[in-house]
Chains A and B, each alone.
Chain A
Amino acid sequence: GAGVSQSPSNKVTEKGKDVELRCDPISGHTALYWYRQSLGQGLEFLIYFQGNSAPDKSGLPSDRFSAERTGGSVSTLTIQRTQQEDSAVYLCASSYLPGLRSSYNEQFFGPGTRLTVL
């Protein structure tokens, strides 16, 4: 079946511009995650959605970052007024959670969006 897809695969933008990154999770997966991968920081967890709601937004690096998920499916990560330090690969993952107390949190990752801020 289809895996997690992300678009665009590459995005080059100028400092100060806004960008939107899109994630299509695996069909039927209730949980969706955003991560950032950079040389300096490795893989950082940003935010997760259970259905359409994000219980904890504290992992977002700054208030320029926001994310939403609609219809329990597609999610967008928006970065406003981009800065050079935002340059990284943004990864999305999804998982099927039969119940919130499950520990089998097998997350399937998409190929990522490589963001370059000039």
Chain B
Amino acid sequence: QQQVKQSPQSLIVQKGGISIINCAYENTAFDYFPWYQQFPGKGPALLIAIRPDVSEKKEGRFTISFNKSAKQFSLHIMDSQPGDSATYFCAASGGGADGLTFGKGTHLIIQP
């Protein structure tokens, strides 16, 4: 059972454009939703995270939008740059020390 579904699998965006990646979850016990960025040969790095008591969180060019009733959340990358080209993973976990449940990842390419 895939508890976090992520789309699209791959995405090509022109430099300066907006990149949008979507995730949907099933487990209503999840209450922490991070996004990770991974470059080839490196471990995932936390980009931004949100809790379900807010509908949006913005950090620089990165914004998470969260819809609790629809059990969906998305990552928006504004003014996308070639350096943003990486694989992005959404994830979710319950409280405490739960392990993260990851989406399958989105391979993002920003064309100069």
Q: In the complex, A112 Cα to B36 Cα: how many Å?
A: 15
The residue that A109 contacts in the complex, of B45, B49, B51, B97, with Cβ under 8 A, is: B45
B101 within 8 A of A: yes
The majority secondary structure among interface residues of chain B is: loop
A26 within 8 A of B: no
Closest to B46 in A: A106
A72 smallest CB distance to B (angstroms): 14
- Tally A residues with Cβ within 8 Å of B: 30
On whether the beta carbons of B104 and A42 are closer than 8 Å, the reply is: yes
B93 within 8 A of A: yes
On whether the beta carbons of A100 and B97 are closer than 8 Å, the reply is: yes
On whether the beta carbons of A109 and B44 are closer than 8 Å, the reply is: yes
On whether the beta carbons of A45 and B31 are closer than 8 Å, the reply is: no
Closest to B98 in A: A105
Q: In the complex, A38 Cα to B53 Cα: how many Å?
A: 33
B32 within 8 A of A: yes
B66 within 8 A of A: no
Q: Mark A78-118, 1 if CB is under 8 A from B, else 0.
A: 00000000000001010101001111111111111000000
Contacts of B99 in A (CB 8 A): 33, 35, 45-48, 59
Q: In the complex, A96 Cα to B44 Cα: how many Å?
A: 17
A31 within 8 A of B: yes
On whether the beta carbons of B96 and A100 are closer than 8 Å, the reply is: yes
9 pairs across A/B with beta carbons < 8 Å?
A33-B100, A50-B97, A91-B43, A93-B43, A103-B51, A104-B32, A105-B93, A105-B96, A105-B98
